[in-house]
């Protein structure tokens, strides 16, 4: 049942040869590069028994797998179900939300394993991978999922793959600068994932500005059940965020602490989101858009500080503030950005990731600058900030300065990268839909008959007659 | 598209200032109290390296985080997705079910960390928290989610927050009496969580009795897809219940055993639920209400006994019985309670939590009373019931007596507490909806256009014309 | 609102006495058999303290629970939510998909604990169970869920229970032959679970061939939201498959490696599925059927090889191929099988489990045959293939031969077993529905009013008037 208006499409959205070609060629490239470079790390390799002996480990439980695998799976759920379903709130873009997120993330994790591997796990010509690499690849792809939120419904799957290729590359470079050159701590990625990913996506959507987008305005809303599907995404992100922020922290207290801080921040964030959602609406009713998104801002904003001694009440304060900032952003800032700055931000990532990400970077810088041996203990202080080797003499306040520099670098990378990638995506060869067909699965997906078709009831003879 | 009948609302459900005020004030109170009292426990504190040395631990894997964090995440999912989605079965109360559950649980876990902390983790003026505290806070909130099930659709979010405040407080007192004064075992909370939570909620709903509730009877049912959303909740509760009952058991065999017993009980429960659901219906068809709820009764009923040597076949027997009791309850008891005793129990928590909770308390008492050194081993016997210090001389049968006393105390606390809180919630200041607007998201939520609105198809010109 | 066509049912689908009787009798049988045979294994028994001393274990963390429980829970989710929701794609069979899967799996795990227990965990007259048994029981039931996919919508719950009883039995026999007699490796079950389960199901559905099934053709499709529900199943299967393939591997490197290989294979599979889904459709649009199913083929196909040194790029190649094979199968093979061979395969398990399962068996055989001490290390080689005791002298190429024999045995068992069980299920006593009532929940379930009933809007006076 093709809707007539689609026959008037101005743009060529035909994917039949372009999408398969890119998918197949790039996957072949992945196979070749993996064949040349990627091998199992010592803890996943069959030589583990010898490794154990060398490292004087008495038990298999010391394998990093057991420290991190449960958190990895939680992160994995966040990327594929969390982000995927969070974006199903649109009434007719559920397939695109879940399906394209699936596609770009599945490609992105492979490319991220390579890019991050070259920077961080490269030994004698090979990238040696283990569970920590899998987590980091998911993290890297998380930043692409965030950017996807800004352009949701307005781009072709090819554009998304192209964006993923570039964004993963730039992510890895930025991450290398922050973690290795600036020696910055950012275990939950307030800077590397959220600030970078969100501003990158916002710049891209600015460049792809569509002046006639109000033509598909009727499809930019939700329906009752699409809002419930989106809540599945929200809740999995919210529940597993403690795993996200603790997944690659140091073994022991750091993982433990990061989980607790994140749990606290998120809990506080729910209350201020509810408060402001009701307060900013004339009728005082709650808005599902806020509940679905702003409740998560607390997790974003402790992404840097969670593994530090932020303390539970510090986390509550951060969550408290971010629920407010994010909800206010949805009410006032998003319309402003769209009308004045021509930034069309479908999911409101500016409110959920950009601002809380910045806050997170700042909180991290302050927490680092305020660190003392008294609070951390002598050994704990060194371990928490890895003040060893070249960094043996770095002080807490200097570390705070470098943390702040990390925010700036992430922003610069996001703006420069987003501009470049936005310009590439603007080329008229990628098969994006016309403005009146945005937010509509029909363009790229075989869509089944509507729910009220003949299967449900027979009272519409014309419809039942159509194929 | 405001429905006309809402304009005739008799009651003031306007939340704009009341809800924000409570959310913000209470969250500020949490921050202050956390600031004064809550600190990281030794396993989450940066001094962990010193702690490890003192305790002669050779590996970070000995941190309690690795023993309990996977179970914590499963419990977390049960509270937020499990309970939240289980209650989405109502056709037009999905936002309230998931959203209010989210709100009350996010507040409740903070208050529970404090209340339980003062009773159990208070050291030199500070509450020292770790992953076990997070699990216990989730548990405590679980009892509020249960009570929420009885009043689902009939209360304002403010009433829910007030109830949470009081119920968490009373839960912590009851738990302290049981665990510390009576020295009772109740790792999965048959008594502290289910019996207490359910009878508390039933008393509250009795006091809030609405004589004209049949005015919203058309909204008390489900639709096809709302039943599927509810099954998400059901399955996550069912699958993760072994984690629930084992999450805070002793390390090693007790956690292992609790998971196995719960798995067995739940499996048996599914079969008897299906059997009685079909048998008690004239046409022999299965009823989704039973499948969504009664299949879980087996998990409730081994909440006390699961960590004991209940044995797999003992668990099967418990599950067998509870599937029957619970399903029969839905068919015969719920209508009776409503018509005769004026207990309007939206989700049927009497069948899912109250009766199975009582059975669970009794099973626990019997299993404890029947324990022998032969079955548990000399050390195992002492460890299982913590017969050390003051309790060194307590025998199994005395323990059984105390377990039984625990049931009685929980019931008394539930009745007294429920009466108090019910009376408070009956005050006409909390903004609950009129009887004809119960079970309707429209009262407290911005609700999108219906699914068959113009976005889906254009065949209804009048509707398309409305805003 | 009974639809008139149901009143013309040719077959007796009345379940009221038959279903309860079978459920109750069989559950009683389980209780008796568990009572006689099943006890806690040493790691779940209260004598664990003594066991620890005997085995010189210094920490509770050495309990197998901590090595496997997180993976167990992931597998558990795959069986109940993964398979259950994957099959909800049908527009009017969501209750049956989730509910019957729940029923058969809950019964199946109990029977599997017994059957597998007798073969593998039988010591001095008792079956001693621990977390590994729970995983294996879930695995065994997984093969039944697969077979269920072929006959989805066409059988009564009684037929499903009967099939489960027989299939679990045959699964355990086949597994015993492969693992114990042939000494074959198959940790993720390419042969024992997928090949066996799928061909078993295909033979059963062939024997139950319904010539008039086109009468219910309108119900064999999906609707928009049913496709989204199915994606929940897909994503959980996809995300947790690394846990599935690694859950019962040896502690340490083998579990770690199996997870990485599976992650890689699945990622590649998504890209080739998307490519071929678009390529094989005239309009170049993506088909949800492929995305829901073929993306998972990569997990199936490394079920045998994942714990071996398949290497990440080897896994990518396997995933690459399987995405193509599976998608092509959906487009060309499924219609062919139905029209020519009279194999009506509702979910297309031939494409998702049968072919990828065979590929998985072959990949495993080749990987085993190609194994060298150089690649695995001397100890690693022995450990990976358990070349100890009687098998001390077995070489890699001989192992490869036995692996290949395992495929043949699994196929033979599937064909013989499927024929037997198909013939039993064809008996006219099980209450299956007539062809025109297939794929319709109404037959066995109380189904609520349709979504567009009076609760949603009042514009249809005739409908509002019906009960």
Residues in chain A within 8 Å Cβ distance of C219: 455
Residues in chain A within 8 Å Cβ distance of B113: 312
Cβ neighbour number for residue A251 with a 10 Å cutoff: 18
Residues in chain A within 8 Å Cβ distance of B445: 285-288
Q: In A306-460, which ranges are continuous DSSP H helix?
A: 312-328, 334-341, 349, 355-369, 373-376, 378-385, 396-426
For A151-161, the pLDDT digits (tens) are 999 999 999 99
| Phi (first) and psi of residue C128, to 5 degrees | -100, 115
Distances (CA, A) of C172 to A230, B312, C169, C179, C357: 41, 20, 5, 10, 18
Q: Which residue of B has its CA nearest to C106?
A: B267
Structure tokens at B364: 């626990």
Residues in chain C within 8 Å Cβ distance of B296: none
Note whether B131 contacts A223, CB cutoff 8 Å: no
pLDDT at residue B8, as a whole number:
41
Rounded to the nearest 10°, the torsion over CA B236, B237, B243, B245 is 180
Note whether A131 contacts C240, CB cutoff 8 Å: no
Total residue count of chain B as it appears in this document: 467
Q: Which of C48, C99, C450 sits opposite B286 (nearest CB)?
A: C99
Above 50 in pLDDT, residue A409? yes
Distance from CA of B343 to the nearest CA of A (A): 29
* Average pLDDT rounded to a whole number, residues B137-147: 98
Least trusted range by pLDDT, from A216-220, B244-248, C391-395: A216-220
Number of CB pairs, chain A paired with chain B, less than 8 A apart? 249
pLDDT at residue C12, as a whole number:
87
**How far is C349 from C339, CA to CA, in rounded Å?**
16
Q: Who contacts C270 (Cβ-Cβ below 8 Å, separation ≥6)?
A: A102, A103, A106, A107, C238, C295, C298, C323
Residues in chain B within 8 Å Cβ distance of A454: none
Note whether C65 contacts B285, CB cutoff 8 Å: no
Distance from CA of B335 to the nearest CA of A (A): 30
Note whether B377 contacts C451, CB cutoff 8 Å: no
Note whether B275 contacts C448, CB cutoff 8 Å: no
Q: Which of C235, C256, C450 sits opposite A456 (nearest CB)?
A: C450
Note whether A94 contacts C311, CB cutoff 8 Å: no
Distance from CA of B55 to the nearest CA of C (A): 13
Query: Quick one: how far is CA C328 from the chain centroid?
Result: 21
Residues in chain A within 8 Å Cβ distance of B20: 274-276, 278-279
**How far is B230 from B384, CA to CA, in rounded Å?**
37
Q: Which residue of B has its CA nearest to A247?
A: B69
Note whether B445 contacts A309, CB cutoff 8 Å: no
Distance from CA of C136 to the nearest CA of A (A): 20
Rounded to the nearest 10°, the torsion over CA A161, A163, A165, A166 is 170
* Average pLDDT rounded to a whole number, residues B64-89: 97
ipTM of predicted assembly, 2 dp: 0.94
Q: Which of B221, B270, B312 sits opposite C103 (nearest CB)?
A: B270
A208 contacts A425 by C-beta, under 8 angstroms: yes
Least trusted range by pLDDT, from A80-89, B11-20, C369-378: B11-20
Please name the residue that has the structure tokens 């600190």: B39
Q: Which of C46, C65, C445 sits opposite B380 (nearest CB)?
A: C46
Q: Who contacts A71 (Cβ-Cβ below 8 Å, separation ≥6)?
A: A135, A243, A244, A246, A247, A255, B69
Residue A379 banded pLDDT, cuts 50, 70, 90? very high
Distances (CA, A) of C185 to A240, C376, C384: 34, 15, 9
Total residue count of chain C as it appears in this document: 467
| pTM for the predicted model, two decimal places | 0.95
pLDDT at residue A449, as a whole number:
72
For B151-187, the pLDDT digits (tens) are 999 999 999 999 999 999 999 999 999 999 999 999 9
pLDDT at residue A336, as a whole number:
97
Total residue count of chain A as it appears in this document: 467
**How far is B123 from B171, CA to CA, in rounded Å?**
21
Q: Which residue of B has its CA nearest to A71?
A: B70
pLDDT top residue among C238 and B462: C238
Residues in chain C within 8 Å Cβ distance of A88: 228
pLDDT at residue A3, as a whole number:
44
pLDDT at residue B217, as a whole number:
87
**Tens digit of pLDDT at every position of chain C (467 positions):** 344 444 444 578 899 899 999 999 999 999 999 999 999 999 999 999 999 999 999 899 999 999 999 999 999 999 999 999 999 999 999 999 999 999 999 999 999 999 999 999 999 999 999 999 999 999 999 999 999 999 999 999 999 999 999 999 999 999 999 999 999 999 999 999 999 999 999 999 999 999 999 888 889 999 999 999 999 999 999 999 999 999 999 999 999 999 999 999 999 999 999 999 999 998 999 999 999 999 999 999 999 999 999 999 999 999 999 999 999 999 999 999 999 999 999 999 999 999 999 999 999 999 999 999 999 999 999 999 999 999 999 999 999 999 999 999 999 999 999 999 999 999 999 999 999 999 999 999 999 976 444 333 333 333 333 33
Residues in chain A within 8 Å Cβ distance of C286: 15, 95, 99, 157, 444-446
pLDDT at residue A11, as a whole number:
78
Residues in chain C within 8 Å Cβ distance of A94: 224-225, 227-228
**Closest by CA position to A275, among listed C20, B15, B425, B101:** B15
* Average pLDDT rounded to a whole number, residues A113-129: 97
**How far is A192 from B121, CA to CA, in rounded Å?**
36
DSSP B54-90: HTT---GGGSHHHHHHHHHHHHHHIIIIIHHHHGGGS
Q: Which residue of C has its CA nearest to B440?
A: C455
Distance from CA of B111 to the nearest CA of A (A): 11
Residues in chain A within 8 Å Cβ distance of B223: none
For A219-260, the pLDDT digits (tens) are 999 999 999 999 999 999 999 999 999 999 999 999 999 999
Residues in chain A within 8 Å Cβ distance of C252: 43, 48, 52, 60, 63, 65
Distance from CA of C354 to the nearest CA of B (A): 27
DSSP C91-137: TT-HHHHHHHHHHHHHHHHHHHHHHHHHHHSEETTEEEE-HHHHHHH
Q: Which of B252, B267, B379 sits opposite C106 (nearest CB)?
A: B267
**Closest by CA position to C305, among listed C394, C385, C240, C231:** C385
pLDDT at residue B12, as a whole number:
87
Above 50 in pLDDT, residue A16? yes
Mean pLDDT of the residues in chain A: 93
pLDDT at residue B10, as a whole number:
57
Q: Who contacts B236 (Cβ-Cβ below 8 Å, separation ≥6)?
A: B77, B78, B81, B82, B85, C81
DSSP A223-277: -HHHHHHHHHHHHHHHHHHHHHHHTTSPTTHHHHHHHHHHHHHHHHHHHHHHHHH
Q: Which residue of B has its CA nearest to A62?
A: B61
* Average pLDDT rounded to a whole number, residues B260-286: 97
pLDDT at residue A12, as a whole number:
87
Cβ neighbour number for residue C370 with a 10 Å cutoff: 15
Which of A277, A278, A319 best tests the B interface by mutation, with the highest count of B CBs <10 A?
A278
Q: Is the dihedral of CA B413, B419, B422, B427 positive or negative?
A: negative
B140 contacts B171 by C-beta, under 8 angstroms: yes
Note whether A47 contacts C239, CB cutoff 8 Å: no
**Closest by CA position to A44, among listed A128, A111, A115, A124:** A128
Note whether C134 contacts B260, CB cutoff 8 Å: yes
Which superfamily does CATH assign the domain made up of B70-428 to? Answer: Ammonium transporter AmtB like domains (1.10.3430.10)
For A342-367, the pLDDT digits (tens) are 999 999 999 999 999 999 999 999 99
pLDDT at residue B7, as a whole number:
42
Note whether B219 contacts C14, CB cutoff 8 Å: no
All structural domains of chain C with their residue ranges: 70-428
Structure tokens at A395: 């002080």
Residues in chain C within 8 Å Cβ distance of A134: 259-260, 263
Phi-psi domain of B345 (left: phi exceeds 0; alpha: psi -120 through 50; beta: other): beta
Query: Quick one: how far is CA A166 from the chain centroid?
Result: 15
Q: Which of B66, B260, B283 sits opposite C61 (nearest CB)?
A: B66
């Amino acid at each position: 049942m093709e809707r007539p208006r689609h026959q008037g499409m101005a743009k060529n959205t035909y994917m039949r040869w372009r999408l398969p070609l890119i998918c197949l060629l790039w996957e072949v490239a992945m196979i070749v590069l993996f064949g040349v470079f990627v091998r199992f790390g010592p803890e996943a390799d069959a030589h583990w028994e010898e490794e154990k002996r060398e490292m004087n480990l008495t038990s298999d439980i010391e394998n990093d797998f057991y420290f991190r695998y449960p958190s990895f799976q939680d992160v994995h759920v966040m990327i594929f179900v969390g982000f995927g379903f969070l974006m199903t709130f649109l009434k007719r873009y559920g397939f695109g939300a879940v399906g394209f997120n699936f596609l770009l993330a599945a490609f992105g994790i492979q490319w991220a394993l390579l890019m991050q591997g070259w920077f961080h796990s490269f030994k004698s010509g090979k990238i040696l991978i283990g569970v920590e690499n899998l987590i980091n690849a998911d993290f890297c792809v998380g930043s692409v999922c965030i950017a996807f939120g800004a352009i949701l419904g307005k781009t072709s799957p090819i554009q998304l793959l192209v964006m993923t290729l570039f964004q993963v590359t730039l992510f890895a470079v930025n991450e290398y600068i922050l973690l290795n050159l600036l020696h910055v701590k950012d275990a939950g990625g307030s800077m590397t994932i959220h600030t970078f990913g969100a501003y990158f996506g916002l710049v891209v959507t600015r460049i792809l500005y569509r002046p006639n987008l109000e033509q598909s305005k009727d499809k930019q809303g939700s329906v009752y059940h699409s809002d419930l599907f989106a809540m599945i995404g929200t809740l999995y992100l919210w529940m597993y965020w403690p795993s996200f922020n603790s997944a690659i922290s140091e073994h022991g207290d750091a993982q433990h602490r990061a989980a607790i801080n994140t749990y606290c921040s998120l809990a506080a964030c729910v209350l201020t989101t509810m408060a402001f959602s009701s307060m900013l609406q004339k009728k005082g009713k709650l808005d599902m858009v806020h509940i679905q998104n702003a409740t998560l801002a607390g997790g974003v904003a402790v992404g840097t500080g969670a593994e530090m001694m932020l303390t539970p009440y510090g986390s509550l304060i951060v969550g408290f503030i971010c629920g407010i900032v994010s909800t206010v952003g949805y009410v006032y800032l998003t319309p402003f950005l769209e009308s004045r700055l021509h930034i069309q931000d479908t999911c409101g990532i500016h409110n959920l990731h950009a601002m809380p990400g910045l806050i997170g970077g700042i909180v991290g810088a302050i927490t680092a600058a305020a660190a003392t041996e008294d609070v951390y203990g002598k050994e704990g202080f060194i371990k928490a900030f890895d003040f060893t080797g070249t960094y043996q003499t770095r002080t807490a306040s200097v570390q705070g300065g470098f943390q702040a520099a990390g925010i700036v670098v992430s922003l610069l990378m996001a703006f420069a990268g987003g501009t470049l990638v936005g310009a590439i995506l603007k080329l008229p060869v990628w098969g994006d839909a016309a403005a009146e067909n945005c937010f509509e699965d029909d363009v790229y997906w075989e869509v089944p008959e509507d729910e009220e078709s003949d299967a449900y009831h027979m009272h519409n003879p014309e419809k039942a007659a159509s194929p």
